[in-house]
Homo-oligomer: A and B are copies of this chain.
Amino acid sequence: MATIYEVSKLAGVSLATVSRVINNNSRVSDKTRQKVTDAMAELDYRPNSIAQSLASNRTNSVGILVSELHGPFFGQMMAGIESELRLAGKHVIITTGHSEEDKETEGIEFLISRNCDAIILHVEAVSDDYLIELCKGNTPVYLMSRYIKEIKENCISLDNELGGYLATKSIITQGHSSVAYIAGPQFKSDAKCRLAGHKKALAEYKIPFHDTLYFEGDFSETGGSEGLEYFIKNKRHFTALVCANDEMASGAITYAREQGFSLPQDLSIIGFDNIIFSQHTYPKLTTIDNPVNLMGHMAAKLVLKNIYQQSDIEITHFFEPTLIVRDSVISIL
C-alpha cells in the first residue's frame, strides 16, 4: 500500500503538500494539486484512516449502542442513523446492550475506548445519573428515545406519554370502558411513559385503573400472549386491550385466536410503534406511529451538526406519535 511519502516523492513535492490536497483545506496551486492527484492515481494511493485518526485525533466514526440488533424497531433506528452518517462519509460502530445495566455500561466503555467521535445510545437499564455523568466526559453522548432534562440538548425523544394517551383515548372513544393494558418493562422509560399516558386517558374519562387489568410484559410476542392469558384467567370482563408495543399486540392476537376469540368482534386490540409487520397481522393492527427512522436520522444530524461542524441543520428534539387506524379496533357504541 502506497504511503503519502511515496506520493510526495513521485509528485516531487513535500509531505505537507500531499496532506493538503488530501484534506483539500489549505490552498494549493492548481498545478501542484494536479501533480499530486496524478501521483495518487498512479500509485492507487488510499489514505490510511488509522494514521489519520492518530494524527488528527478524529476517527470519523460514531458509536451506536442499541438494545438488540434484531427487531423491527432497532432496525429502523439504525437504518436512519447509518444512512445519514454514511452520506457524510462517517462510519458507525454498532454494539448491543441487551437492556441490562452491566452490558450497557460495558458497551459504552467499549465504544469510548474505540475513540468514537461521538456515541449515540439507546439505553434502558442504565440510570439517568450515570448518563448525566457520562456526558461530562470527553466523548460526546447522544440519547435516542430517552429524555433526561439535565441533558435535554443531547436527547432525541418521542412523546411516549402522548402516545399512550392517544392509544387509550382512541379506544375509549369507541365506546370501550373496560380496557386491559399490557405494559412494557417498567424499568424502561418509554414503557413507563406509555403507561402514564394510558392512565391519564382513563382518568380523563373517569375510568378507574384496575390492577387486574394490568400486566407487565417484556415487549416481545410472548409478553403479549402471557398478558392475555393472565387476564383471561382473572375472569375480569374487558372488551379492549391496549398493548405497549406491536410485538406484544401481535402475540396477543395470536393467543386470542388460539383461545377461540374472533377478532376484532370479541376483543379490540391496539399496539404501539407501527412496525412494518403491524400491517400484516389479522386483523390489521391499529397502532400508534413511532417515527423511529426519522428520529435516527435526526440523531445523526445532531452529531453532524455538533461534532462535524455541519451547520445549516435544523434539529428537532421532540417527536410526536400519531394514531394509525386499521382494523383491530371496533366501535361498540
Which residues does A use to contact B, with CB under 8 Å? Answer: 1, 46-51, 53-54, 59, 61, 68-72, 74-76, 78-79, 82-83, 86, 91-96, 110, 113-115, 138, 221, 250-251, 253-254, 257, 276-277, 279-282, 284
Contacts and interface: CB of A to CB of B under 8 A. Distances in A.
A47 B112 CA distance: 11
Contacts of A282: 253-254, 257, 281-282
Contacts of A110: 86, 91
A246 to B, nearest CB: 10
Nearest to A81: B69
Contact of A94 (B54, B70, B92, B276): B92
The 6 closest A-B pairs by CB, nearest first: A70-B75, A282-B282, A69-B79, A250-B280, A69-B78, A50-B53
Nearest to A111: B91
Contacts of A113: 46-47, 49
Contacts of A276: 70, 221
A50 B59 contact: yes
A95 B69 contact: no
Contacts of A68: 75, 79
30 contacts: A48-B115, A49-B114, A50-B50, A50-B54, A50-B115, A68-B75, A69-B78, A69-B79, A69-B82, A71-B75, A72-B75, A82-B94, A82-B95, A82-B96, A83-B96, A86-B95, A86-B110, A91-B93, A91-B114, A92-B93, A92-B94, A92-B95, A93-B93, A250-B277, A250-B280, A251-B280, A254-B279, A257-B282, A277-B277, A280-B281
Contacts of A70: 72, 75-76, 78-79, 276
A221 B93 contact: no
A217 to B, nearest CB: 15
A282 B281 CA distance: 7
A279 B221 contact: yes
Contacts of A253: 280, 282
Contacts of A280: 221, 250-251, 253-254, 277, 281
A227 to B, nearest CB: 15
